[in-house]
Structure 1
Amino acid sequence: MPAALRHYLTITGNYWLFTLTDGAIRMLVVLHFYQLGYSPFAIAMLFLFYEFFGIVTNLVGGWLGARIGLNRTMQIGTGLQVLALLMLTVPDPWLSVAYVMTAQALSGIAKDLNKMSAKAGVKLVARESNAQLFRWVAWITGSKNALKGAGFFLGAVLLSVAGFQGAMGWLAGMLVIGLVMTLTLPGGFGAIRERKGFSSMFSREPLINWLAAARIFLFAARDVWFVVALPVFLVSIGWDFHWVGAYLALWVIGYGVVQSLAPRLLGGRRPAAPTTADGPTGRTATVWSFALTLPLVAILLAFALGWTDGLVISLGLAFFGVVFAINSATHSYLILRYSAEEKASMNVGFYYAANATGRLVGTVLSGLSYQWIGMTGSIGFALLFVVLAGGLSLQLVRLESAVDDGPR
């Protein structure tokens, strides 16, 4: 087996196991603490440090990966996730808000170290062409999200079968396998010889800066109604925990499948999905960002007509998921295409810091908007953020045109 493919499979395998635990933790915390009587806003606050430290970790992690190697940052991230899981195996009386937030902070650091290492690692092993880069990054991203959906379902099942603490123990044991896998990666994988200062983490490249800005609002648009508002809404209209976990799992699995198929879906030169011969462009990101307004407007109109049952939200979310998946796959490819190989880990770290910022904004507003206004308020914020993401993506079109029209 070629070394590049072997390393890609190792990175992907670890990322899969990590993602299963990450999805399971999210579902376990939401359902367990809702069961204990926490309000939607209080549940959202449990994830505050998880998202905040994701921002910091991506900035520091990209710089650290360039210095010590992506194999080491992946190992550190996986080890921290095992520690965070073990922290949550303590009895319920110990699970204060501050304690759970601390465990979630460790989990957030772990998740973003692992994600940055995996995505930047793909840039290093997929050197043959942009087409291969798009296929490999779409596959690792899509399969990861499919497994995150499986993690939602796994978390709901483990909560019923093993209880909150038992579930965390099972997940920690499973992730140790992923940690062992990373030991096969070569030492110094992705490290660069030139020692750059930390200030080099902040991108000075306009394409990357505008893409990161669009990413903030794209992910805020998803999480503002998906993280807290949606599961609480479904429980409030009579769905039990198993059905909520299963539905969210199926949604994320389907979302991941669409991401994996994005290279095929965007393979033709259609007006609705403009691409170059070997990958999507800034115009692709813009078109698909504005397309996200359609399912959100449809749901709001249905709610205005009094159709507030689970079927309406389920159909709207399914359409939203397909369009969002193509958006996300496009963004994940563009950040790698815009990055030179020697700055891949730092640019990816900067970009995913923006991603984490969007998740933080979306998570906090998910609980707050639902508690104050209800599901309509959460979807209204999502619509606003989608429009902002599309508007910012227009700058990618302008900058790409300037590069194409410049001196040759």
Structure 2
Amino acid sequence: MSAPGVAAERELPAYRWVVLGLIMGVLTVANIGPMGLPALAPLLRDDLALSRQQAGSFLSAYYVGSLVMAFPAGWLADRLGVGRTMIIGQGLVAAFLVLMALTPSYPLLMLAVVLAGIGYGMVNPTSTKGVMIWFPARSRATVVGLKQTGLPLGGALGALLLPALAGPLGWRGAVAVSGAVVGASALAALWLYGEPPRPEAAPGAPAERPSVRTVLTNPSLWLVSCATLLFAAVQVAWISYLSLYLQEVLGLSVVVAGFYLAQGQTTGTLGRIFFGILSDRLFGGRRRIILVLAGSLSGCLALLMTTVSAGTPGWALSLLALGFGLVGIGWNGVQHALLAELAGRESAGTAVGLGLAVSALGVILGPPLFGLVVDRFGDYRWGWYSLAAGMALALALLAPVKESRRRVWE
């Protein structure tokens, strides 16, 4: 993929920051429409006569589509290149957002949401490789962490902008506008994104080729993927149930409980950058130790949640929310960097796609399993114990990871 008008700039270090800004924008814009659908749920319920369960099912459908496509998309990025794969994914998201705006029924709406998720499933692992091949090893976890802030930022913008647009345009008009914006970002990527020059192979060394088999037979990749499945399950269970827990057990209002959740979401977004810097600068590019640190602290904070009661002061609740958000959500960028480096440059997309596909199972299964535990024992404390146990198992899976075998490229 060649980007006219910027070819001369590509040799300059400054161009890599253009790439990072572009990809952050791509991720942010791609998530405004799908992640903003919950904010439009009351309007959708009225228009399509949806049940509460149906109105709350959009994000699950979106993640199912992303899960289905993550691994094939990584392979496509390795084969076709980052630019082509990312633009195809954006095109799918844009097209199916417009289809959502035109759909007359719930089944067709859900189909469009799943297909938009498939488009996003092409963008996410591809974008990780897209920034990593442009930056040196010493800063990769940092830039991937920056890139990964696009998802929560897109969700926040969707929750803010779509209801505002729905006032004059209706929910269909708001969703259609979000699709048009994704289409515009695809055109920007077509113009601005270019693949960096491939590094020359050492004399006599065979050229490295993308290999699905190499990825699927790498034990460390599977260990990291399964460990971060548990990380993801713990993260999304905490996000899903914190407000409910604070309302039911502590008697807080919806607004106050939401305030504590917002604190955790904020530090979670910042944590993606913080842990990237920590890995690149303080730990000399080591990744596993960051996941171990984040997992250990998440498990400890889950245990501390069992001590919360109606008498717990607000500042203590804030510390718990801020702390868990930082360590329980902020690990994501380091995970991407480790997966890519374990596979090497030519198979980085496939490896990240595998990791995202596996960890997405945690996103889907974590909240209902947490709820099942709480319902079974009739006490939220057992839910928090289960999160701590999940993190302990994740740390055990990380222990044998051969980080020394990372194929770090410059």
TM-score bracket for the superposition, by shorter chain length: 0.7 to 0.9
Q: Say whether the 8 Å CA contact 1:335–1:348 is kept in structure 2.
A: yes
Q: In the TM superposition, what is the alpha-carbon distance from 1:265 to its structure 2 partner?
A: 3.9
Q: Which residue in the other structure is 1:122 paired with? A: 131
Q: Which residue in the other structure is 1:336 paired with? A: 340
Q: 1:238, 1:143 → 2: CA distance?
A: 30
Q: Secondary structure at the match of 1:280?
A: coil
Equivalent positions of 1:49-128 (< 5 A) are 49-90=61-102, 94-96=104-106, 98-126=107-135, 128=136
Q: Does 1:384 align with 2:384?
A: no
Q: Which residue in the other structure is 2:233 paired with? A: 220
Q: Does 1:288 align with 2:294?
A: yes
Distance 1:267 1:67, change over 3 A: closer
Q: In the TM superposition, what is the alpha-carbon distance from 1:88 to its structure 2 partner?
A: 2.8
Consecutive unaligned residues of structure 1, counting only runs of 5 or more, are 270-274
Identity %: 19
Equivalent positions of 1:323-402 (< 5 A) are 323-362=327-366, 364-365=368-369, 379-396=384-401, 399-400=402-403
Q: Which residue in the other structure is 1:180 paired with? A: 187
Distance 1:334 1:100, change over 3 A: same
Distance 1:346 1:207, change over 3 A: same
Amino acid at match of 2:400: Q
Deviations 1:317-338 (Å, cap 9, x if unpaired)? 3211111244223322212322
Q: Say whether the 8 Å CA contact 1:19–1:144 is kept in structure 2.
A: yes
Q: Which residue in the other structure is 2:303 paired with? A: 297
Q: Which residue in the other structure is 1:272 paired with? A: none
Deviations 1:296-330 (Å, cap 9, x if unpaired)? 2222221xx34599987654332111112442233
Q: In the TM superposition, what is the alpha-carbon distance from 1:223 to its structure 2 partner?
A: 1.1
Distance 1:191 1:233, change over 3 A: farther
Q: In the TM superposition, what is the alpha-carbon distance from 1:174 to its structure 2 partner?
A: 2.1
Deviations 1:184-232 (Å, cap 9, x if unpaired)? 25677799998867x53752112211111111111111112324x4566
Q: 2:69, 2:24 → 1: CA distance?
A: 17
Distance 1:200 1:159, change over 3 A: farther
Q: In the TM superposition, what is the alpha-carbon distance from 1:137 to its structure 2 partner?
A: 1.8
Consecutive unaligned residues of structure 2, counting only runs of 5 or more, are 1-8, 200-206
Q: Secondary structure at the match of 1:125?
A: coil
Q: Say whether the 8 Å CA contact 1:208–1:351 is kept in structure 2.
A: yes
Q: CA RMSD in A?
A: 4.0
Distance 1:11 1:267, change over 3 A: closer
Q: In the TM superposition, what is the alpha-carbon distance from 1:35 to its structure 2 partner?
A: 8.8
| Higher relative contact order structure (alpha carbons within 8 Å, sequence separation ≥ 6) | 1
Q: In the TM superposition, what is the alpha-carbon distance from 1:27 to its structure 2 partner?
A: 4.4
Q: Does 1:22 align with 2:31?
A: yes
In the alignment of these two chains, the number of paired residues is 382
Distance 1:77 1:345, change over 3 A: same
Q: Say whether the 8 Å CA contact 1:42–1:367 is kept in structure 2.
A: no
Q: In the TM superposition, what is the alpha-carbon distance from 1:44 to its structure 2 partner?
A: 5.6
Q: In the TM superposition, what is the alpha-carbon distance from 1:71 to its structure 2 partner?
A: 1.1
Q: Say whether the 8 Å CA contact 1:27–1:245 is kept in structure 2.
A: no
Q: Say whether the 8 Å CA contact 1:82–1:175 is kept in structure 2.
A: yes
Higher mean C-alpha displacement, 109-118 vs 153-162: 153-162
Q: Secondary structure at the match of 2:101?
A: coil
Question: Which structure's CA Rg is the greater one?
Answer: 2
TM-score, with length taken from structure 2: 0.76
Q: Say whether the 8 Å CA contact 1:366–1:378 is kept in structure 2.
A: yes
In structure 2, which of residues 139, 149, 155 is the aligned counterpart of residue 132 of structure 1?
Answer: 139
Q: Say whether the 8 Å CA contact 1:80–1:107 is kept in structure 2.
A: yes
Amino acid at match of 1:260: I
Distance 1:332 1:64, change over 3 A: closer
Q: Secondary structure at the match of 2:392?
A: helix
Q: In the TM superposition, what is the alpha-carbon distance from 1:57 to its structure 2 partner?
A: 0.6
Q: 1:280, 1:214 → 2: CA distance?
A: 17
Q: In the TM superposition, what is the alpha-carbon distance from 1:257 to its structure 2 partner?
A: 2.2
Equivalent positions of 1:138-157 (< 5 A) are 138-142=145-149, 144-155=151-162, 157=164
Q: Say whether the 8 Å CA contact 1:149–1:249 is kept in structure 2.
A: no
Q: Say whether the 8 Å CA contact 2:27–2:150 is kept in structure 1.
A: no
Amino acid at match of 1:336: A
Q: Say whether the 8 Å CA contact 2:227–2:394 is kept in structure 1.
A: yes
Q: 1:363, 1:50 → 2: CA distance?
A: 16
Higher mean C-alpha displacement, 44-53 vs 130-139: 44-53
Q: 1:176, 1:159 → 2: CA distance?
A: 20
Q: 1:234, 1:307 → 2: CA distance?
A: 12
